[in-house]
Amino acid sequence: AQSVAQPEDQVNVAEGNPLTVKCTYSVSGNPYLFWYVQYPNRGLQFLLKYITGDNLVKGSYGFEAEFNKSQTSFHLKKPSALVSDSALYFCAVRDPNSGNTPLVFGKGTRLSVIA
Amino acid sequence: DAGITQSPRYKITETGRQVTLMCHQTWSHSYMFWYRQDLGHGLRLIYYSAAADITDKGEVPDGYVVSRSKTENFPLTLESATRSQTSVYFCASRLTRAGLETQYFGPGTRLLVL
């Protein structure tokens, strides 16, 4: 079975400071990992993904995430937070060895960037 | 470049009524999904479809019916709406070419069951 956990419901960070939103996963083989962002009253927008290759993945809006197989983590990071980054962030995982299974999403982490 | 559209965007209905939420994608993606989003539960998968005429249950399928007669459409029907089905519903589609897969979401339908 595949699962993903986002241990923090809420993350607060000051504008200009680095931010990290945590994600850990559980799959039997090598995972496909994704981050999505949701702004108020909007659908989920794709940010970045890890499929294979370089463990450091760069995505939209200056975000990046690092795949760490030994710690089964895929934390989302940004060097300098903006107020406009305030949103709900979802981590998702899929085990490609289980066929074309749906993505499994975490419960989301609300990021608040304070000016 | 419409992507995924959902209609209606907002719907108020009464307990016991039938409601159909529409989803249309313009990419010819083979996979389509319905999720509901509720506070404290994140996104939960209701149903998904691998292709036209192929559907499978997700985590919370009870009370919902889906069909997929055409690749581009994936309607979700609440046969007899209940208050517990008040939620925000998201449709998504996914290209399944190896290594290129990304799931894209529609704007959502906000449903209130009175």
Taking an 8 Å cut-off on Cβ atoms, the answer to whether B42 and A107 are in contact is yes
What is the end-to-end Cα distance of chain A in Å, rounded?
A: 41
Each residue's pLDDT tens digit, B18-39: 999 999 999 889 999 999 999 8
**Which residue, among A13, A31, A35, has the nearest Cα to A22 in the 3D structure?**
A35
Number of residue pairs across A and B with CB atoms under 8 Å?
46
Query: Which residues of chain A are within 8 Å of residue B33 when distances are taken between CB atoms?
Result: 102
Each residue's pLDDT tens digit, A29-43: 889 999 999 998 889
Each residue's pLDDT tens digit, B51-110: 999 999 999 999 999 999 999 999 999 999 999 999 999 999 997 776 667 899 999 999
Scanning every residue of chain A, which has its alpha carbon at the shortest distance from the alpha carbon of B106? A43
What is the C-alpha separation between A78 and B79, in angstroms, rounded?
Answer: 45
